[in-house]
Amino acid sequence: MRKITSISLIILAFVLSQCASVPMSGRSQLALIDNDKIFPMSFDQYEQVKKESKIITGTDEARMVKRVGTRIQRAVEQYFNNQSQGDYLNDYQWEFNLIDEETVNAWCMPGGKVAFYTGIMPICQDELGVAVVMGHEIAHAIANHGRERISQQYAAQFGLSAVSILLTGGSSAPSIPTEIIMQGAGAATSLGILAFSRKHESESDKLGLYFMAMAGYDPQEAPKFWERMAAQSGGEAPPEFVSTHPSHDTRIADLNANMPKAMEYYRKSQ
């Protein structure tokens, strides 16, 4: 019993040591698996999604998605460089694509691979609306929510035995299944499996607001976008306590609460 307790304590200490800090927010998050393992699998999965989907190219909307994504990407990179943290983004490989699918959604793979579905474009309406969604998705990547979610799913699926293998540096730790990678991107959900928590969504709302402002997009558009999203849902959104997303009212209130700081970034960008 003492031996089991000692091993458990060692594993617990290891898990606690495998934490990272979210940029700008400072929140501590679980990081059992390094990005140099996650990113290549994420990029491969993104390529598979592209092969299986109809990628829209050459249209105004497709060009807008790429333009907005690149603009926010560069603004975020400049911010990190100014903070002497440019190395943080070294392994990111940004890509922005529009997929022909009527689902009202967008997502970002760990490492910076973004996908917009055509179904969300009418709610975006214009470049500012795209910037709201793009900032949010880029924030998921910058905050490493995918790695955090993958670490949580990995530990839950494989248990302490896998963690102990990681602890001892063994090579027999289970590989990360495709479905966990997709869940880590917020790109797939199934009954009982939540892609991102409300905590992740709220954090991405906040950081995304700042990122779009850094890129010169008026952050005051963000609450308007979510008002349109609320109107589109027709009041059919699930109650907040059983949803992976904050309620529309909570989301809008939080965005407005963070608006003064966002406007500081916006004024500096002008």
The answer to whether residue 25 is domain-embedded is no
Sequence-distant contacts of 17-24: CB under 8 A, at least 24 apart: 18/151, 20/144, 20/147, 22/143, 22/144, 22/203, 23/80, 23/85, 23/88, 23/142, 23/143, 23/207, 24/207, 24/210
pLDDT category of residue 11 using cuts at 50, 70 and 90: very low
Of the listed 137, 201, 203, 221, which one is catalytic?
Answer: 137
The answer as to whether 127 is a domain residue is: yes
Name the residue with higher pLDDT: 86 or 156: 86
- Residue 246 vs residue 105, higher pLDDT: 105
Task: Give the CA angle between residues 67, 61, 265 to the nearest 5°.
Answer: 40
Q: Which domain holds residue 239?
A: 32-269
Whether residue 209 is contained in a domain is answered as: yes
The neighbouring-strand residues paired with 117 are 99
Is 223:255 a contact under the CB 8 Å cutoff?
yes
Question: Is the pLDDT confidence value at 220 over 50?
Answer: yes
**pLDDT at residue 57 greater than cutoff 50:** yes
Q: Report yes or no: 43 and 146 within 8 Å, Cβ to Cβ.
A: no
Structure tokens at 249: 């009212």
- Is 137 a catalytic site residue? yes
Q: 181 versus 105: which is more confidently predicted?
A: 105
Confidence of residue 132 (pLDDT cuts 50, 70, 90): very high
Q: Whose CA is closest to 72, among 267, 261, 207, 202?
A: 207
Domain count, the chain: 1
Is 50 exceeded by the pLDDT of residue 7?
no
12 is a domain residue:
no
CB–CB of 208/136 below 8 Å?
yes
| Residue 239, pLDDT above cutoff 60 | no
Lowest mean pLDDT among 63-67, 129-133, 138-142, 188-192: 188-192
Residue 230 located in a structural domain: yes
Percent of the chain's residues with pLDDT above 90? 54
Which tokens go with 122? 């009418």
